Amino acid sequence: MSFECKADKFEVIDSKKFTEKGISFPKIHTDLDQMVSYSLLVKESRGDCFASVPFCVTVEADSLGADINLGDENIGPRSRGYFIDDANGIYKIGKHDFSEGRIGTVLDAVEKLSGMGETVALNVEGPITIAMQIMDSAAFYKALRKDENACSYFIETMSSNIFEYIKEGVKRGAKIISFADPSGDINIVGPKLYRSICEPVIGNVLGRIKREIRGVVVHICGKTSTALESRGTANIEKVEYEKEKSYGMAICDIYKEDEAVFIGHRCIKTGNRIYENPMMFVLGIE
């Protein structure tokens, strides 16, 4: 199965709708009310059954100290530069503070949308996508290859940060976690780095979700879920759903109050699509 990764593609919506809703850029990334309004506008535009936040892949990196250019209506947020230069710099990576900054606003948006009766999806990035916004890729790979302690610190810190963000999102009302690591595609980083960095972090995060969180659907990007299956770290169960249902409706319907459900092998941005092969791919996580 092959995928077109859409995780880093900015939504393009008729600008007239921005004016009608009082939406402006880049305030949708920083202002609570505009973030909520834009989430609902994207939901309406896509024809989805859930509302998603945030609208870029930079929120976690921003929280950890990255210098982010918030962009405009045509180009989404991007990193302006790096604050980590070598292995020693990896120890600068701290913990998220959910009480401030854009990450705090995103969580407030989750809570507000949930309070409005919306099914909310929180978009969460994987370790390499976050790392590539705070550190030059060549320096990053070199540091983790040569310094085992820095590598261990990175795995532990990223695992904890990602899990705690997900945990807080579910606490605030998110019913769906959309997890993707577009920069951590196994075809980009290679099997060795994937095995030594990506697998441990993702395995730690998913394992903790399974053990500690109830009432959430974790939608794993198809590129990541197929890599997990090929590496033997996840088993796949195919579950059929009704042909007339959109993929998004099937995601919402598979939700269970008493457990975490893991699905993958498709793209969550096809939530409005009605597949000819209406199949849900459920991951068994150890």
The rounded Cα 122 to chain-centroid distance in angstroms is: 7
What integer pLDDT is reported at residue 83 of this predicted model?
87
pTM, rounded to two decimals: 0.95
Domains of the chain: 21-213+242-256+267-273 (3.20.20.210)
CA 80/CA 49 separation, integer angstroms: 34
> Under a CB-based contact definition with an 8 Å cutoff, are residues 258 and 213 in contact?
no
Query: How do residues 99-119 score in pLDDT, each as one tens digit?
Result: 999 999 999 999 999 999 999
Residue at token pair 């209406």: 278
What integer pLDDT is reported at residue 160 of this predicted model?
98
- In angstroms, the Cα distances linking 152 to 87, 129, 149, 202 are 11, 18, 5, 14
DSSP state of 243: T
Query: How do residues 239-281 score in pLDDT, each as one tens digit?
Result: 999 999 999 999 999 999 999 999 999 999 999 999 999 999 9
What integer pLDDT is reported at residue 7 of this predicted model?
45
The helix/strand/coil state of 208 is helix
Length of the chain equals 286
18: which 2 tokens? 């921005």
Low-confidence ranges of the chain (pLDDT < 70): 1-15
What integer pLDDT is reported at residue 118 of this predicted model?
98
CA 207/CA 226 separation, integer angstroms: 17
The rounded Cα 43 to chain-centroid distance in angstroms is: 17
Residue 232 zone, left/alpha/beta (φ > 0; ψ -120 to 50; rest): left
CA 258/CA 277 separation, integer angstroms: 28
What integer pLDDT is reported at residue 241 of this predicted model?
97
CA 121/CA 102 separation, integer angstroms: 17
What integer pLDDT is reported at residue 139 of this predicted model?
87
